[in-house]
Amino acid sequence: MIRLAVGATLMAVVTYIGMGIDRFYKMRVEYLKGFADFLSYASREAGFLKTDILRIISLYCASESSNLTKFLKETAKKLESGEQPAIDCVYLTKKDKRLYESFFQGLINADYRTQEKLFSHHIAEISELLKEAENNKKNKGELIRKLMALGGVALMVIVI
């Protein structure tokens, strides 16, 4: 009876770990989609209405409720106080974080013509990262989740 309980517990723990890894890949895709949406919105606002970035962030955060809005609000506060914009999100890779930070840092130092190039460059970069993240979610995330569940069942059979 104890073997069955230990085996079931091991199976549940290993399966839960697999689900956590899968969630990491899903959340990365969500954050990158949120940033891509923000870049598209900011590009339109800055290009047509010549809106400044702090106003763009506040308008975007008021109209959207993605996971990224919390970090955008923090970035707006840092931009207002003159600090370097940074993002500290466990779901994003170093490359993702550098792209986010370089966008806002470049926007601080950009004039109108440079802004257009900055937006188009970062939209292209985020598109590539988003394709890669969706591919990883599909290939790695789902595969790891399924393999961990199968491994949990194997552990349970071994223990019993």
Instruction: Compute the distance between CA of residue 113 and CA of residue 46 in angstroms, rounded to an integer.
Output: 11
Domain ranges of the chain: 2-159
Per-residue pLDDT tens over the stretch 75-123: 899 988 888 888 888 999 999 999 999 998 888 877 777 888 888 999 9
Residue 155: per-residue pLDDT? 87
**Which pLDDT score, from 0 to 100, does residue 36 have?**
93
Total residue length of the chain: 160
* Mean pLDDT in residue range 41-57: 83
Distance, in Å, from the CA atom of 42 to the CA atom of 71, rounded to the nearest integer, reads 15
- pTM of the shown model: 0.85
**Phi and psi at residue 47, to the nearest 5°:** -75, -45
Classify residue 52 by its DSSP letter.
Answer: -
CB 79 within 8 A of CB 107: no
Mean pLDDT, residues 112-140 = 91
144 pLDDT more than 90? yes
Tell me what pLDDT residue 30 has: 94
Confidence class of residue 18 from pLDDT cuts 50, 70 and 90?
Answer: very high
| DSSP for residue 13 | H
CB atoms within 10 A of CB 92: 22
Q: Is the pLDDT of residue 45 over 90?
A: no
Tokens of 68: 């990224």
